[in-house]
Structure 1
Amino acid sequence: MKVPAFNLSTDEIREELAPIRHPFSIAVCRAKNPFNIGAIIRTAHSFLVREIFLVGTEPWYERAAMGMAKYETIVECPDEDAFLEAVRGRPLIGVERDHARTTLWEAEMPDGLVFLFGSENDGLSDHLLAACSQVLAIPMYGINHSYPVAIAAGMVMCEWARRRDPRGNPSLR
Protein backbone atom coordinates (compact mmCIF):
# COMPACT_ATOMS: atom_id res chain seq x y z
CA MET A 1 0.00 0.00 0.00
CA LYS A 2 1.32 3.42 -0.96
CA VAL A 3 1.03 6.10 1.73
CA PRO A 4 0.90 9.75 0.62
CA ALA A 5 3.85 11.79 1.92
CA PHE A 6 2.89 13.71 5.05
CA ASN A 7 -0.72 12.66 4.46
CA LEU A 8 -1.19 15.74 2.26
CA SER A 9 -2.42 16.13 -1.28
CA THR A 10 0.07 16.83 -4.07
CA ASP A 11 -1.08 20.45 -4.23
CA GLU A 12 -0.66 20.83 -0.47
CA ILE A 13 2.86 19.40 -0.63
CA ARG A 14 3.76 21.74 -3.51
CA GLU A 15 2.41 24.65 -1.46
CA GLU A 16 4.52 23.64 1.56
CA LEU A 17 7.66 23.33 -0.56
CA ALA A 18 7.24 26.63 -2.45
CA PRO A 19 8.67 28.96 0.22
CA ILE A 20 11.76 26.81 0.80
CA ARG A 21 12.74 26.37 -2.85
CA HIS A 22 16.17 27.58 -3.81
CA PRO A 23 16.85 30.59 -6.06
CA PHE A 24 18.17 28.65 -9.03
CA SER A 25 16.75 26.59 -11.87
CA ILE A 26 18.02 24.01 -14.30
CA ALA A 27 17.40 23.53 -17.99
CA VAL A 28 18.08 20.43 -20.04
CA CYS A 29 18.13 20.11 -23.78
CA ARG A 30 16.07 16.98 -24.20
CA ALA A 31 18.47 14.12 -24.00
CA LYS A 32 18.45 11.28 -26.45
CA ASN A 33 18.17 8.91 -23.50
CA PRO A 34 14.72 9.61 -21.97
CA PHE A 35 15.77 8.02 -18.67
CA ASN A 36 18.24 10.86 -18.02
CA ILE A 37 15.56 13.55 -17.96
CA GLY A 38 13.58 11.65 -15.33
CA ALA A 39 16.73 11.12 -13.27
CA ILE A 40 17.55 14.83 -13.47
CA ILE A 41 14.04 15.76 -12.35
CA ARG A 42 14.34 13.41 -9.38
CA THR A 43 17.69 14.93 -8.41
CA ALA A 44 16.42 18.49 -8.93
CA HIS A 45 13.62 17.74 -6.49
CA SER A 46 16.18 16.73 -3.88
CA PHE A 47 17.73 20.20 -4.21
CA LEU A 48 14.33 21.96 -4.40
CA VAL A 49 15.18 23.92 -7.54
CA ARG A 50 12.86 26.76 -8.50
CA GLU A 51 11.91 25.14 -11.81
CA ILE A 52 13.07 22.70 -14.44
CA PHE A 53 13.10 23.73 -18.09
CA LEU A 54 12.94 20.98 -20.69
CA VAL A 55 14.08 22.23 -24.08
CA GLY A 56 12.83 20.30 -27.11
CA THR A 57 10.02 17.87 -27.71
CA GLU A 58 11.58 14.44 -27.23
CA PRO A 59 9.76 12.26 -24.69
CA TRP A 60 11.18 11.56 -21.25
CA TYR A 61 10.77 8.59 -18.96
CA GLU A 62 8.53 9.66 -16.06
CA ARG A 63 9.19 6.55 -13.99
CA ALA A 64 12.85 7.58 -13.70
CA ALA A 65 11.68 10.64 -11.75
CA MET A 66 10.28 8.26 -9.10
CA GLY A 67 7.12 10.35 -8.70
CA MET A 68 8.96 13.60 -7.98
CA ALA A 69 7.86 15.32 -11.21
CA LYS A 70 4.43 15.97 -9.70
CA TYR A 71 6.02 18.17 -7.02
CA GLU A 72 8.11 20.20 -9.46
CA THR A 73 7.48 23.13 -11.76
CA ILE A 74 8.40 21.73 -15.15
CA VAL A 75 8.44 24.26 -17.97
CA GLU A 76 8.40 22.63 -21.39
CA CYS A 77 9.93 24.77 -24.12
CA PRO A 78 9.47 23.41 -27.66
CA ASP A 79 12.74 24.92 -28.89
CA GLU A 80 15.77 26.98 -27.92
CA ASP A 81 14.17 30.34 -28.76
CA ALA A 82 11.15 29.62 -26.55
CA PHE A 83 13.52 28.67 -23.74
CA LEU A 84 15.61 31.82 -24.11
CA GLU A 85 12.44 33.91 -24.05
CA ALA A 86 11.28 32.13 -20.86
CA VAL A 87 14.56 32.87 -19.04
CA ARG A 88 15.17 36.37 -20.42
CA GLY A 89 16.91 38.57 -17.86
CA ARG A 90 18.21 35.68 -15.75
CA PRO A 91 21.86 34.62 -15.57
CA LEU A 92 22.35 31.57 -17.79
CA ILE A 93 25.28 29.28 -16.97
CA GLY A 94 26.09 26.59 -19.48
CA VAL A 95 27.70 23.34 -18.42
CA GLU A 96 29.87 22.32 -21.36
CA ARG A 97 33.42 21.07 -21.12
CA ASP A 98 34.64 21.93 -24.60
CA HIS A 99 33.56 25.58 -24.45
CA ALA A 100 34.18 26.29 -20.76
CA ARG A 101 35.72 29.53 -19.62
CA THR A 102 35.80 28.52 -15.94
CA THR A 103 35.32 25.48 -13.73
CA LEU A 104 32.55 24.41 -11.41
CA TRP A 105 34.79 25.23 -8.47
CA GLU A 106 35.41 28.82 -9.62
CA ALA A 107 32.18 29.85 -11.35
CA GLU A 108 30.02 32.57 -9.87
CA MET A 109 26.53 31.40 -8.96
CA PRO A 110 24.22 34.39 -8.49
CA ASP A 111 20.64 34.08 -7.28
CA GLY A 112 18.12 33.47 -10.03
CA LEU A 113 20.56 31.64 -12.28
CA VAL A 114 19.64 28.86 -14.66
CA PHE A 115 22.12 26.03 -15.16
CA LEU A 116 21.87 24.77 -18.75
CA PHE A 117 22.81 21.23 -19.76
CA GLY A 118 23.07 20.02 -23.34
CA SER A 119 22.07 16.68 -24.74
CA GLU A 120 24.42 13.71 -24.47
CA ASN A 121 25.19 13.63 -28.18
CA ASP A 122 25.33 17.27 -29.15
CA GLY A 123 26.08 19.25 -25.98
CA LEU A 124 24.94 22.87 -26.15
CA SER A 125 24.30 24.52 -29.49
CA ASP A 126 26.23 27.62 -30.55
CA HIS A 127 22.99 29.60 -30.17
CA LEU A 128 22.62 28.58 -26.51
CA LEU A 129 26.34 28.98 -25.77
CA ALA A 130 26.18 32.56 -27.04
CA ALA A 131 23.31 33.29 -24.62
CA CYS A 132 25.26 32.07 -21.57
CA SER A 133 26.89 34.60 -19.25
CA GLN A 134 29.25 31.81 -18.14
CA VAL A 135 30.17 28.38 -19.41
CA LEU A 136 31.70 26.03 -16.89
CA ALA A 137 33.32 22.63 -16.92
CA ILE A 138 33.32 20.02 -14.21
CA PRO A 139 36.90 18.95 -13.51
CA MET A 140 37.73 15.46 -14.74
CA TYR A 141 40.73 13.34 -13.89
CA GLY A 142 40.45 10.25 -16.08
CA ILE A 143 40.65 9.77 -19.80
CA ASN A 144 36.88 9.86 -20.27
CA HIS A 145 35.74 12.95 -22.20
CA SER A 146 32.50 13.72 -20.37
CA TYR A 147 30.15 12.83 -17.53
CA PRO A 148 26.69 11.42 -18.16
CA VAL A 149 24.30 14.41 -18.23
CA ALA A 150 22.31 13.20 -15.20
CA ILE A 151 25.52 12.87 -13.17
CA ALA A 152 26.79 16.27 -14.31
CA ALA A 153 23.50 17.91 -13.32
CA GLY A 154 23.66 16.30 -9.88
CA MET A 155 27.25 17.42 -9.35
CA VAL A 156 26.43 21.02 -10.30
CA MET A 157 23.37 21.15 -8.04
CA CYS A 158 25.44 19.66 -5.22
CA GLU A 159 28.12 22.34 -5.63
CA TRP A 160 25.46 25.05 -5.57
CA ALA A 161 24.12 23.60 -2.30
CA ARG A 162 27.59 23.16 -0.81
CA ARG A 163 28.25 26.85 -1.30
CA ARG A 164 24.92 28.00 0.11
CA ASP A 165 24.15 25.52 2.89
CA PRO A 166 25.87 26.13 6.23
CA ARG A 167 26.14 22.36 6.73
CA GLY A 168 28.31 22.08 3.61
CA ASN A 169 30.15 25.39 3.77
CA PRO A 170 32.02 26.10 7.04
CA SER A 171 32.24 29.82 6.21
CA LEU A 172 28.44 30.08 6.53
CA ARG A 173 28.27 28.53 10.00
Structure 2
Amino acid sequence: MTQAPDETTHPRGEDQVEVGVGPWPGGRAAWPTGERYDVELLEHGDRRNVVDAYRYWTVEAIVADMDARRPVGRRLHVAIENWGHDLNIGSVVRTANAFNAAGVHIVGRRRWNRRGAMVTDRYQHVSHHPQVEDLLAWAAAQHDGAGIPVVGIDNVPGSIPIEGYLFPRECVLLFGQESSGLSAEAREASREILHITQLGSTRSINAGAAAAVAMHAWAVQHAYEP
Protein backbone atom coordinates (compact mmCIF):
# COMPACT_ATOMS: atom_id res chain seq x y z
CA MET A 1 0.00 0.00 0.00
CA THR A 2 1.54 3.29 -1.08
CA GLN A 3 -0.22 5.83 1.08
CA ALA A 4 -2.37 6.07 4.19
CA PRO A 5 -5.29 8.31 5.16
CA ASP A 6 -3.22 10.24 7.70
CA GLU A 7 -0.92 11.42 4.92
CA THR A 8 -3.49 12.51 2.39
CA THR A 9 -5.86 14.99 4.01
CA HIS A 10 -6.18 17.44 6.84
CA PRO A 11 -9.64 18.03 8.35
CA ARG A 12 -11.05 21.53 8.19
CA GLY A 13 -14.61 21.55 9.43
CA GLU A 14 -16.71 19.45 7.08
CA ASP A 15 -14.27 19.95 4.22
CA GLN A 16 -10.94 18.25 3.62
CA VAL A 17 -7.92 19.88 2.08
CA GLU A 18 -5.84 17.78 -0.28
CA VAL A 19 -2.09 17.92 0.01
CA GLY A 20 0.58 16.86 -2.43
CA VAL A 21 0.25 16.57 -6.19
CA GLY A 22 -1.97 14.82 -8.70
CA PRO A 23 -0.99 12.35 -11.44
CA TRP A 24 2.19 13.12 -13.40
CA PRO A 25 1.27 15.70 -16.08
CA GLY A 26 1.14 14.41 -19.65
CA GLY A 27 0.13 10.84 -18.91
CA ARG A 28 2.18 7.66 -19.15
CA ALA A 29 4.16 8.86 -22.16
CA ALA A 30 5.66 11.64 -20.04
CA TRP A 31 6.48 9.54 -16.97
CA PRO A 32 10.07 9.73 -15.70
CA THR A 33 12.04 6.51 -15.74
CA GLY A 34 14.02 4.87 -12.99
CA GLU A 35 13.50 2.43 -10.13
CA ARG A 36 12.97 5.26 -7.66
CA TYR A 37 9.52 6.07 -9.06
CA ASP A 38 6.29 4.42 -7.91
CA VAL A 39 4.03 3.74 -10.89
CA GLU A 40 0.87 3.95 -8.77
CA LEU A 41 1.84 7.40 -7.55
CA LEU A 42 2.70 8.54 -11.06
CA GLU A 43 -0.69 7.39 -12.27
CA HIS A 44 -2.91 8.44 -9.37
CA GLY A 45 -1.00 11.25 -7.67
CA ASP A 46 1.18 11.58 -4.59
CA ARG A 47 -0.73 12.90 -1.58
CA ARG A 48 1.84 11.94 1.02
CA ASN A 49 3.35 14.38 3.49
CA VAL A 50 6.81 14.41 1.86
CA VAL A 51 9.03 17.19 0.57
CA ASP A 52 8.74 18.02 -3.13
CA ALA A 53 12.08 16.38 -3.94
CA TYR A 54 10.59 13.01 -3.00
CA ARG A 55 7.33 13.29 -4.95
CA TYR A 56 6.42 10.07 -6.75
CA TRP A 57 9.34 8.17 -5.17
CA THR A 58 8.89 4.75 -3.58
CA VAL A 59 9.28 4.47 0.19
CA GLU A 60 12.39 2.35 -0.32
CA ALA A 61 13.98 4.99 -2.56
CA ILE A 62 13.27 7.74 -0.02
CA VAL A 63 14.83 5.73 2.81
CA ALA A 64 17.89 4.93 0.70
CA ASP A 65 18.39 8.60 -0.17
CA MET A 66 18.00 9.66 3.46
CA ASP A 67 20.56 7.04 4.49
CA ALA A 68 23.00 8.38 1.90
CA ARG A 69 22.74 11.84 3.46
CA ARG A 70 23.68 10.54 6.94
CA PRO A 71 27.50 10.32 6.88
CA VAL A 72 29.16 8.24 9.58
CA GLY A 73 30.57 10.50 12.27
CA ARG A 74 27.63 12.87 12.62
CA ARG A 75 24.69 10.56 13.07
CA LEU A 76 21.89 11.42 15.43
CA HIS A 77 19.96 8.65 17.17
CA VAL A 78 16.81 9.25 19.21
CA ALA A 79 15.56 6.96 21.97
CA ILE A 80 12.21 7.19 23.77
CA GLU A 81 11.14 5.35 26.89
CA ASN A 82 7.73 3.73 26.43
CA TRP A 83 6.55 2.39 29.77
CA GLY A 84 3.03 3.85 29.66
CA HIS A 85 2.09 4.19 25.97
CA ASP A 86 3.02 7.88 25.93
CA LEU A 87 1.05 9.63 23.18
CA ASN A 88 4.02 11.92 22.51
CA ILE A 89 6.10 9.12 21.01
CA GLY A 90 4.56 9.57 17.58
CA SER A 91 5.40 13.27 17.67
CA VAL A 92 9.01 12.48 18.62
CA VAL A 93 9.29 10.04 15.72
CA ARG A 94 7.91 12.65 13.32
CA THR A 95 10.47 15.20 14.53
CA ALA A 96 13.26 12.62 14.23
CA ASN A 97 12.27 12.21 10.59
CA ALA A 98 12.36 15.98 10.07
CA PHE A 99 15.98 16.05 11.28
CA ASN A 100 16.87 12.84 9.37
CA ALA A 101 17.86 10.94 12.50
CA ALA A 102 19.79 7.77 11.73
CA GLY A 103 17.63 5.68 14.03
CA VAL A 104 14.69 5.83 16.40
CA HIS A 105 14.79 3.48 19.38
CA ILE A 106 11.71 2.54 21.40
CA VAL A 107 12.69 1.43 24.90
CA GLY A 108 10.15 -0.55 26.92
CA ARG A 109 6.84 -1.60 25.42
CA ARG A 110 7.05 -2.55 21.77
CA ARG A 111 3.65 -1.12 20.85
CA TRP A 112 3.25 2.64 20.63
CA ASN A 113 0.64 5.06 19.28
CA ARG A 114 1.72 5.75 15.70
CA ARG A 115 -0.92 8.30 14.81
CA GLY A 116 1.19 11.26 15.88
CA ALA A 117 4.01 10.07 13.63
CA MET A 118 1.89 10.87 10.55
CA VAL A 119 3.34 7.79 8.81
CA THR A 120 6.91 9.14 9.05
CA ASP A 121 7.98 5.91 10.79
CA ARG A 122 7.90 4.33 7.32
CA TYR A 123 10.93 6.39 6.40
CA GLN A 124 12.85 5.76 9.62
CA HIS A 125 14.88 2.86 10.99
CA VAL A 126 12.87 2.06 14.13
CA SER A 127 14.33 -0.41 16.65
CA HIS A 128 12.96 -1.86 19.88
CA HIS A 129 14.87 -2.45 23.12
CA PRO A 130 12.99 -4.16 25.99
CA GLN A 131 14.99 -2.39 28.72
CA VAL A 132 17.33 0.58 29.05
CA GLU A 133 20.23 -1.82 29.50
CA ASP A 134 19.49 -3.26 26.05
CA LEU A 135 19.74 0.22 24.51
CA LEU A 136 23.04 0.71 26.35
CA ALA A 137 24.37 -2.60 25.02
CA TRP A 138 23.45 -1.55 21.48
CA ALA A 139 25.13 1.86 21.87
CA ALA A 140 28.28 0.32 23.38
CA ALA A 141 28.61 -2.15 20.48
CA GLN A 142 28.63 0.51 17.76
CA HIS A 143 31.83 1.19 15.77
CA ASP A 144 33.36 -2.18 16.67
CA GLY A 145 32.94 -1.60 20.37
CA ALA A 146 34.05 2.02 20.48
CA GLY A 147 30.46 2.92 21.25
CA ILE A 148 28.44 6.11 21.02
CA PRO A 149 27.36 8.21 24.01
CA VAL A 150 23.84 8.42 25.42
CA VAL A 151 22.72 11.92 26.41
CA GLY A 152 19.56 12.23 28.49
CA ILE A 153 17.10 15.11 28.21
CA ASP A 154 15.24 15.92 31.42
CA ASN A 155 14.73 18.79 33.86
CA VAL A 156 16.20 17.24 36.99
CA PRO A 157 18.56 18.47 39.72
CA GLY A 158 22.16 18.44 38.51
CA SER A 159 21.24 18.56 34.83
CA ILE A 160 23.19 20.78 32.42
CA PRO A 161 21.59 23.63 30.43
CA ILE A 162 21.24 22.60 26.80
CA GLU A 163 22.14 26.12 25.75
CA GLY A 164 25.86 26.17 25.01
CA TYR A 165 26.31 22.42 25.41
CA LEU A 166 28.65 20.88 22.81
CA PHE A 167 26.89 17.80 21.50
CA PRO A 168 28.91 14.80 20.32
CA ARG A 169 28.82 14.47 16.53
CA GLU A 170 27.26 11.05 16.98
CA CYS A 171 25.07 10.36 19.97
CA VAL A 172 21.80 8.98 21.28
CA LEU A 173 19.38 11.55 22.69
CA LEU A 174 17.29 9.74 25.30
CA PHE A 175 13.84 11.06 26.25
CA GLY A 176 11.52 9.93 29.03
CA GLN A 177 7.79 9.86 29.58
CA GLU A 178 5.66 12.99 29.48
CA SER A 179 4.56 12.70 33.11
CA SER A 180 7.59 11.33 34.93
CA GLY A 181 10.56 12.12 32.67
CA LEU A 182 13.51 9.78 32.45
CA SER A 183 13.44 6.66 34.56
CA ALA A 184 16.11 6.13 37.22
CA GLU A 185 17.76 3.56 34.93
CA ALA A 186 17.84 6.02 32.04
CA ARG A 187 19.34 8.77 34.18
CA GLU A 188 22.04 6.39 35.39
CA ALA A 189 22.75 5.30 31.81
CA SER A 190 23.22 8.82 30.45
CA ARG A 191 26.68 10.35 30.09
CA GLU A 192 25.09 13.72 30.85
CA ILE A 193 21.55 14.93 31.39
CA LEU A 194 20.55 18.19 29.75
CA HIS A 195 17.63 20.45 30.52
CA ILE A 196 15.95 23.14 28.44
CA THR A 197 15.99 26.45 30.27
CA GLN A 198 12.46 27.68 30.97
CA LEU A 199 11.26 31.05 32.16
CA GLY A 200 7.66 30.38 33.14
CA SER A 201 5.87 28.65 35.99
CA THR A 202 5.60 25.11 34.66
CA ARG A 203 8.24 22.57 35.67
CA SER A 204 8.47 20.94 32.25
CA ILE A 205 7.36 21.37 28.67
CA ASN A 206 5.62 18.83 26.45
CA ALA A 207 7.86 15.84 25.72
CA GLY A 208 7.35 16.19 21.99
CA ALA A 209 8.30 19.87 22.13
CA ALA A 210 11.36 19.12 24.27
CA ALA A 211 12.51 16.52 21.75
CA ALA A 212 12.18 19.04 18.92
CA VAL A 213 14.25 21.63 20.80
CA ALA A 214 16.96 19.09 21.62
CA MET A 215 17.21 17.70 18.09
CA HIS A 216 17.41 21.21 16.66
CA ALA A 217 20.17 22.09 19.12
CA TRP A 218 22.18 19.09 17.85
CA ALA A 219 21.42 19.97 14.21
CA VAL A 220 22.62 23.57 14.60
CA GLN A 221 26.04 22.21 15.58
CA HIS A 222 26.42 19.19 13.33
CA ALA A 223 23.81 18.82 10.57
CA TYR A 224 25.77 20.75 7.95
CA GLU A 225 29.28 19.67 8.83
CA PRO A 226 31.25 18.00 6.00
TM normalised by structure 2 equals 0.68
What residue identity is the alignment partner of 1:139?
Answer: T
What residue is the counterpart of 1:127 in the other structure? Answer: 185
Counterpart AA for 1:71: Y
Deviation at 1:79, TM superposition (A): 1.5
- Distance in 1 of aligned mates of 2:113 and 2:170: 27
List alignment gaps of at least 5 residues for structure 1.
167-171
Greater RCO (CA < 8 Å, at least 6 residues apart)? 1
User: Residue 10 of structure 1 is aligned with which of 39, 59, 63?
Assistant: 59
Q: Which residue of 1 aligns with 2:3?
A: none
> What amino acid is the match of 1:17?
M
Offset, 1:115: 0.6
Task: Look up the SS of the partner of 2:137 in the other structure.
Answer: helix
Q: Higher helix share goes to which structure?
A: 1
Distance 1:35 1:121, change over 3 A: closer
Does residue 82 (structure 1) correspond to residue 134 (structure 2)? The answer is yes
Q: 1:162 to 1:31 in 2, by over 3 A?
A: farther
Q: How does 1:1-173 map to 2 (within 5 A)?
A: 3=46, 5-21=54-70, 23-30=75-82, 32=84, 34-57=86-109, 59-88=111-140, 89-165=147-223
Larger Rg: 2
**Residues 126 and 100 of structure 1: is their aligned pair in 2 closer, same or farther, counting only changes over 3 Å?**
same
Deviates more, 1:100-109 or 1:46-55: 100-109
* Cα root mean square deviation, aligned: 2.0
State the SS of the aligned residue for 2:88.
helix
- CA-CA distance at 1:80 after TM superposition: 1.4
User: Relative to 1, partners in 2 of residues 1:107 and 1:127: Cα closer, same or farther, differing over 3 Å?
Assistant: same
Percent sequence identity is: 25
Q: TM-score by structure 1 length?
A: 0.87
